[in-house]
Amino acid sequence: MRPFLLALLAKEPAHGYELKQALEQIFGSAYPSPNIGQIYVTLGRLEKDGLVRAVDVEQPNRPNKKVYHLTAAGREALDAWADEPTEGPRVRDEFFMKLVLAPMTGISDRMTLINRQRRHYLALMRDLNELAGRTDPADRVALLLIEGAMLHLQADLDWLDRCQEDLS
């Protein structure tokens, strides 16, 4: 959440609720709607670290609102975030650990574990298909996120095939 808020503030100063709306607008339905409380907590931490600066703005007949600005240090942190490579997908997959460890204890056999997991992945894929089907075709960001999830699932299934060939 921290770098997302810094990136939005690099575009223009904003108050907490505007940041929530901006995130919803950009990611559409592809991202869980951010919790406003979580946004304020994060902004508070960023302010404590000197990455943003809050300016009180008076409002008629209402409590002051805080408008957040990016500081020079915030700009640096944002640049560092954009420049560094992003972590790839995890490979210490929990299912894989189960597959290796469970048969040792005699709790379950590998073939059963793999077959059950394949059905689970396929059911997830079916969910993603349905989700894609009812997502507005104009919502490119959401559809790309769904497609990414599908490609990851496909890789998981291919890996399952490899496990079945080599471990059974």
Partner 1 sequence: MSRSEPDRAGGAARKGRVVRGAGGEREAAPDPVVSTVNLVKIYQNGGVPVPAVRGVDLRVEPGEFVAIMGPSGSGKSTLVHMLGGLDVRTSGEIWLDGRRADTLGESAWALLRRQKIGFVFQFFNLVANMTVADNVELPALLAGASPRVARERREHLLGALGLTDRAGAAPAQLAGGEQQRVALARALANRPSLLLADEPTGNLDSRNTRDVLRLLGEVHRDGQTIILVTHDARVASLADRVVSLLDGQIVDDGAVGAARRRPRGTAGDVVELRG
Instruction: Answer for the pair 30, 146: CB distance below 8 angstroms, yes or no.
Output: yes
Q: Quick check: 39 and 1 in contact, CB under 8 A?
A: yes
Using the rule CB under 8 A, which residue among 32, 60, 88, 106 binds partner 1? 32
Identify the residue among 1, 29, 44, 103 touching partner 1 (CB under 8 A): 29
Using CB under 8 A, which of 26, 129, 140, 167 touches partner 1? 129
CB of 65 to partner 1, least distance (A): 27
Please tell me whether residue 128 binds partner 1 under the rule CB under 8 A.
yes
Q: Identify which range of 1-9, 45-53, 91-99, 121-129 contacts partner 1 by CB under 8 A.
A: 121-129
Measuring CA to CA, how many Å separate 110 from each of 78, 103, 105, 114? Answer: 46, 6, 12, 6
Residue 49 contacts by C-beta under 8 Å, 6 or more apart in sequence?
73
157: number of Cβ within 10 Å:
15
Considering the complex, state which of residue 21 and residue 115 has its C-beta at the smaller distance from partner 1: 115
Quick check: 1 binds partner 1 (CB under 8 A)? no
Distance CA 14, CA 16 (A): 7
Does 109 interact with partner 1 (rule: CB under 8 A)? Answer: no
Where do the H-state alpha helices sit in 49-139? 72-83, 94-105, 110-133
**Residue number with CB closer to partner 1 (65 or 164):** 164
Residues that bind partner 1 (CB under 8 A): 28-33, 111, 115, 118-129, 131-132, 134-135, 139, 142-143, 145-147, 149-150, 152-154, 157-158, 161-162, 164-165, 168
